Amino acid sequence: MRGTVTVIDKGNVRVHSYMAPDTGLNVTTQLIETPNLLIAVDGQVNVADADEVVEYAKGLGKPLDRLIVTHDHPDHYHGAASFNAPIHALAIVRDQMAARGDLQDLNGVPVPAAQVAPTDLITPGTEVIDGVTFVFEAVLGGETSDQLLIRLPEQGVLVAQDLVYHHTHAFVGHNDIARWQVILQELADPSYDTVLPGHGLPAGQAVFAEMAAYLEAADDLLGDDGDAYKRAIIERYPDYAAPFVIDIGNFYLFGTRPA
């Protein structure tokens, strides 16, 4: 297996957190296993990694009920069609995904927009799925303009996805760091002992302070030269994975196309 799976047992719920290798930007797909179903969150940047998640899911012996796409960044839905399940998203995220049109993954595999388009809309609020309480919240700003946050309050699980990166470099291409810092402060809550990031391995509450420190460094180092910023942030965080994410952010900020 190219990716890494971390299994978190929460009694009637188990989370299988798949982290792609560095070539897949350490993107995570969360497989939430309820008594009778599997619910997937985010669909990978590379189709091959999504295929690996799906193959792992088949081994769990439960039907895949849905794939939830949390936001419109393509690294979280290029592989959505591989799941062969209804695709759920906020209405605004559906529209943003449609606006991007046809794409291709990092390996050049075509990703037709029609094949990854959400089929079911999520309304923020509480939904009980297979006896498990899910709380869906729409978050504005930060890493991207619109993102879905998922809470499993009875299990103490916070599916933060790209509101949190864990020991990987972060995308700051929207240059909304001040708002992102506020969101992190609002999310810190010791009743959630499991925090699932969009890039990196599962974490605990300490990840919020770590992420805030990284964003503070990014804010200090970010100037008008993307190459200089990349060198500086890597020097500050030399052990962090997925440096290509910095290149993607620089393209948004400076128009410097990733190599």
* pLDDT tens digits for range 124-165: 999 999 999 999 999 999 999 999 999 999 999 999 999 999
Q: Is the pLDDT of residue 257 over 70?
A: no
Q: Sign (positive/negative) of CA torsion 55, 61, 66, 67?
A: negative
- Mean per-residue pLDDT over the chain, rounded: 97
Q: Over range 200-228, report the average pLDDT.
A: 97
Q: Sign (positive/negative) of CA torsion 205, 20, 199, 141?
A: negative
pLDDT at 258: 66
Residue-wise pLDDT for 20-64, tens only, equals: 999 999 999 999 999 999 999 999 999 999 999 999 999 999 999
The answer to whether 13 and 33 have CB atoms below 8 angstroms apart is yes
Please tell me the class of the 4-123+135-254 domain.
Answer: alpha beta
Say if pTM beats, i.e. exceeds, 0.95. Answer: yes
pLDDT at 255: 87
Domain residue ranges of the chain, discontinuous segments joined by +: 4-123+135-254
Q: Is the pLDDT of residue 89 over 70?
A: yes
The answer to whether 45 and 78 have CB atoms below 8 angstroms apart is yes
CA 140 to CA 118: how far, in whole Å?
20
